[in-house]
Chains A and B, each alone.
Chain A
Amino acid sequence: MRRDYDVAVVGGGLVGAALAWGLAREGQRVVVLDEGDMARRASRANFALVWVQSKGLGMAQYMGWTVRSSDAWRQLAYDLRAQTGLDVCFQRPGGFHLALGETELAARAQRLKRLHNQPGAADTKVEVLDRTAVERLLPGIGPEVAGGSFCPLDGHVNSLRTLHAFHKGLYLLGADYRSGHTVHDVVPAQAGFRLMTSRGEVGAEKVVLAAGNANMRLAPLVGLKSPMQPNRGQIVVTERAAPFLHYPLVTIRQTDEGTIMIGDSREETTDETMLDLSIAAVEADRARRMFPALGKLNVVRTWSGIRVMTQDGFPIYDQSERYPGAFVVGCHSGVTLAANHALVLAPMIARGRLNADLVGAFSARRFDVAKVA
């Protein structure tokens, strides 16, 4: 095994794997340092949407960045399949956010208006539809559905297979993946960095922190910061069924293999070993009111996962001023943004410089400004 690398990526989840894959495609010698099987794994517990509508209230640049990734996803899926033979089942039929009752619909319309009224807002082509228009595309809706919003740029993917494809691709590109290597310390050295892991030291010229919520602990080691505020989500999963839902919703989607995933809870706890069934019950009940036929399906499992979440919900992409070979990449939407991470951000890091025109808005320096104001 090679001892020294152009770049060490800390974190082997969707964000780390996408970046490492993009870096390896640029010809960089890459090592991925990952934790073991007991690590909290947002990449294995997520809803797998490639989602545009409703993102970016408070930071218009995030809208454009999200639209860009949604547009680039087809290319990413194509490239992964060409290299690894794995079909990650990316589909972009457009997605819905449904409203139960007129109050919810009005709140939805109001929120989208505020989102798009921001200076620099991207055109997400989202539209608010009344019940009749929704019913034309979603014939099975229940009587309480008052309408909803539809965005043609929304889609979904098989996120587990995407993670698998990145890792298989990394292997084929000759990158080193080391599981069970929890990084305890990153020490800036003469030419690069020394990473102290639970299984010894690894040297690399550049380091990319893509460790999810653990970026909060790691970033200060290399003169960066990454304020995080994780939360928990719970999902209800039904048995596999014949194709029934042809568009993903923000709260309900049918996977390529037939199961229906339900849920979008957001809880302050960060204990992912317990379930709160009263929350799962609300999720299931809302789903059944949206699509009464779902009420006949058997639930086969419920699970919870911890969201990677920055303090303001927007991505953090930063390069250390003090140690310019150190980068931090953290965001909530590791699935949606995978295409940008692999195809746009990784090449920048390979060249050693983040392009401020494209990603300057996502610097963690925005948290300093907020503190002063």
Chain B
Amino acid sequence: MLRRLLEEGQRVCVTIDGKPVTARVGDSVAAAMLSCGLLSCRTTPISGEKRAPYCMMGVCFECLVTIDGVNNRQGCLIEVSEGMRIDTQHGRRAVE
């Protein structure tokens, strides 16, 4: 659905829901998820509806995901890094 304008650049390897994925250095987590074809990154806490990154600038909080085990991170504000573990989030975050 989304296609990169520029394909060159350094790559990093991350996992999304356990699957190895290649992203570009400088990508936000949200951009990395979108560019590998994911159509949603989470389900909502109340109705369980699917949500996807929307504003891409830290305002709408639609892109919440679990990063390295921490829930409710804003995917559009965090850059990918080598080995990062990204997971789609289902419903409310946990309190541990």
Please report A residues at the B interface, Cβ cutoff 8 Å. 140, 239-242, 244, 257-258, 293-294, 296-298
Asked if B92 and A240 make an inter-chain contact with CB atoms under 8 angstroms apart, the answer reads: yes
The 7 closest A-B pairs by CB, nearest first: A244-B95, A240-B45, A242-B92, A241-B95, A258-B92, A240-B92, A293-B95
- A142 CB, min distance to chain B CBs, angstroms: 14
Interface flags, B85-96, vs A, CB<8A=1, else 0: 000000111111
Question: Hey, which chain B residues are within 8 Å of A140, CB to CB?
Answer: 95
Interface of B is mostly: loop
Question: Hey, which chain A residues are within 8 Å of B92, CB to CB?
Answer: 240-242, 258
Q: How extensive is the interface on chain B, given as a class?
A: under 10
Bound Cα distance A297, B46 (Å): 18
Question: Hey, which chain B residues are within 8 Å of A298, CB to CB?
Answer: 72
- A86 CB, min distance to chain B CBs, angstroms: 15
Asked if B46 and A241 make an inter-chain contact with CB atoms under 8 angstroms apart, the answer reads: no
Question: Hey, which chain A residues are within 8 Å of B72, CB to CB?
Answer: 239, 298
Interface flags, B28-45, vs A, CB<8A=1, else 0: 000000000000000001
Bound Cα distance A294, B91 (Å): 18
- B66 CB, min distance to chain A CBs, angstroms: 13
Counting chain A CB atoms within 10 Å of each CB, the highest count among B46, B91, B92, B94 belongs to B92
Question: Hey, which chain B residues are within 8 Å of A293, CB to CB?
Answer: 95-96
- A298 CB, min distance to chain B CBs, angstroms: 6
Asked if B45 and A257 make an inter-chain contact with CB atoms under 8 angstroms apart, the answer reads: yes
- A260 CB, min distance to chain B CBs, angstroms: 8
- B56 CB, min distance to chain A CBs, angstroms: 19
Asked if B95 and A297 make an inter-chain contact with CB atoms under 8 angstroms apart, the answer reads: yes
Question: Hey, which chain B residues are within 8 Å of A257, CB to CB?
Answer: 45-46
Question: Hey, which chain A residues are within 8 Å of B96, CB to CB?
Answer: 293, 296
Question: Hey, which chain A residues are within 8 Å of B45, CB to CB?
Answer: 240, 257-258
Asked if B95 and A242 make an inter-chain contact with CB atoms under 8 angstroms apart, the answer reads: yes
